[in-house]
């Protein structure tokens, strides 16, 4: 029997932020500095005051500046097992990289895979990509997708690209579009929703609701096809990226997303299972933006997965690729 692995506990250290890390959120910086530590633990370290920036307490969303000094506390990190650390274990993930250049890669994330490790999740997309591509030292998530959502996931390969893309997201200059199957007959061709959201965090996944005084959230829903009175296929674009935003806004309008076990309708979900739906019908379909330094336009689209196309066919619908793109 092999002896148990010992944990490595480094001493507290002061890290000075250079230009390459400037503009990064504190929580994302620490995820890179404390590799292997779950995001939930990173948040606890920040909120308990064990992490300081220039000797002061800050929030996880605090954006670092060049010259800042960050106290990185001692954290016991258990070395990953050979299986979890092996890039060979994630060779299948390479087939889901749909775009890559010197700044960015785009992953067609499968439903059921978390974007990052955390409570109850040993490894997510970003940890798997780092194991698959260990030569890329600065891989960071540009944004997140729910575990049950599939489709376009942007991953920055350089700190400079991450800063640029985060700035574009904050300014609402990234066009993100989703495909969603919702309950009921959608009557309006287009509906814009500006409903603030409040997040309640507890054990397990967060719970979000529409409430005055919450964070601003804006979504736009466009009807693609009404499937009788049972369901409707929508294209959704979002101007903000709040937790569970599309799911909560759709339910708030009275059209919950098919297969959503948190905000959806139980009877509708059971009916959709009879048409072959085994997951939430929400897919990150396309992302587009313009690189501000060069004016170069970037656009990527990931087709609806086959299992979701099959559900549409069973409902008498058409594949989204049969339609002209949104103008």
Catalytic pick from 108, 146, 260, 265? Answer: 146
Fold of 13-72: 3.10.290
68 catalytic residue (yes or no):
no
Angle at 62 between CA 202 and CA 298, to 5 degrees: 95
Cα distance between residue 212 and residue 200, in whole Å = 14
> Within the chain, how many helices (H) and strands (E) appear?
9, 15
Same fold, 13-72 and 173-319: no
Q: State residue 204's pLDDT score.
A: 57
- The 3-class SS string of 82-125 reads HHHHCHHHHHHHHCCEEEECCCEEEEEECCCCCCCCECCECCCH
* Cα–Cα dist 86/134, whole Å: 10
**Are the C-beta atoms of residues 106 and 287 closer than 8 Å to each other?**
yes
Type and span of the H or E element at 181: strand 175-183
At residue 32, the pLDDT reads: 76
How would you label 211-244 residue by residue, b for 16+ Cβ within 10 Å and e otherwise? eeeeeebbbbbbbbbbbeebbbbbbbbbbbbbbb
Torsional sign, CA 263, 264, 267, 271: negative
Question: What pLDDT is stored for residue 118 in this prediction?
Answer: 61
Residue ranges covered by each domain of the chain: 13-72, 82-163, 173-319
- Reply yes or no on domain 82-163 having CATH 3.30.1370.160: no
The domain 173-319 is placed in CATH, from the list 2.60.120.650, 3.40.50.720, 1.10.10.10, 3.30.2350.10, at 3.30.2350.10
Along the 327 residues of the chain, how does pLDDT read in single tens digits? 455 454 444 568 888 887 767 788 888 888 877 876 777 788 888 988 899 999 899 998 899 888 899 998 887 655 444 334 444 577 888 999 999 999 999 999 999 998 887 655 567 889 889 989 999 989 999 999 999 999 999 999 999 999 999 999 999 999 999 999 999 999 888 899 999 999 887 655 678 999 999 999 999 999 999 998 899 999 999 989 898 999 999 999 999 999 999 999 999 999 999 999 999 999 999 999 999 999 999 999 999 999 999 999 999 887 665 443 443
In this prediction, residue 319 carries a pLDDT of: 67
**pLDDT for 259:** 97
Asked if residue 179 lies in contact with residue 317, where contact means CB atoms within 8 angstroms, the answer is no
Q: From CA 151, how far away is CA 143, in angstroms rounded?
A: 12
Instruction: Tell me the chain's radius of gyration from C-alpha atoms.
Output: 21
Q: 193 near 219, Cβ under 8 Å?
A: yes
pTM for this prediction: 0.75
Q: What pLDDT was estimated at residue 155?
A: 96
Dig out the tokens for 119 from the structure: 């409570």
Q: How distant is the alpha carbon of residue 178 from its chain centre? A: 13
pLDDT at 80: 45
Please tell me the predicted confidence (pLDDT) of residue 35. Answer: 72
DSSP tag of 8 = B
């Amino acid at each position: 029997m092999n002896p148990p692995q010992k944990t490595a506990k480094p001493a507290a250290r002061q890290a000075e932020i250079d230009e390459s890390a400037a503009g990064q959120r504190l929580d994302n910086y620490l995820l890179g500095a404390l590799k292997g530590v779950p995001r939930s633990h990173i948040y606890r370290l920040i909120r308990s005051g064990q992490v300081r920036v220039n000797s002061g307490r800050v929030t996880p969303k605090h954006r670092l500046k060049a010259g800042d000094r960050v106290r990185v506390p001692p954290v016991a990190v258990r070395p990953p097992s050979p299986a979890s650390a092996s890039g060979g274990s994630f060779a299948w993930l390479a087939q889901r990289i749909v775009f890559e250049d010197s700044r960015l890669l785009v992953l067609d994330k499968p439903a059921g895979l978390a974007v990052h490790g955390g409570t109850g999740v040993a490894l997510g997309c970003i940890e798997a990509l780092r194991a698959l591509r260990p030569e890329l030292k600065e891989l960071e998530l540009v944004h997140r997708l729910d575990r049950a959502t599939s489709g376009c996931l942007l991953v920055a390969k350089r700190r400079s690209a991450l800063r640029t893309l985060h700035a574009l997201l904050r300014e609402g200059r990234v066009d993100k579009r989703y495909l969603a199957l919702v309950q009921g007959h959608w009557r309006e061709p287009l509906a814009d929703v500006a409903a603030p959201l409040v997040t309640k965090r507890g054990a397990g996944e967060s719970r979000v609701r529409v409430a005055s005084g919450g964070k601003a959230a804006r979504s736009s829903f466009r009807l693609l096809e009404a499937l009788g009175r049972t369901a409707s296929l929508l294209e959704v674009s979002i101007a903000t990226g709040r937790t569970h935003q599309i799911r909560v806004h759709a339910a708030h309008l009275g059209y919950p997303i098919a297969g959503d076990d948190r905000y959806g309708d139980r009877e509708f979900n059971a009916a959709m299972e009879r048409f072959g739906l085994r997951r939430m019908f929400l897919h990150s379909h396309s992302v587009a933006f313009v690189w501000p330094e060069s004016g170069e336009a970037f656009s990527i689209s990931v087709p609806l997965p086959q299992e979701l196309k099959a559900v549409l066919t069973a409902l008498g619908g058409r594949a989204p690729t049969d339609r002209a793109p949104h103008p």
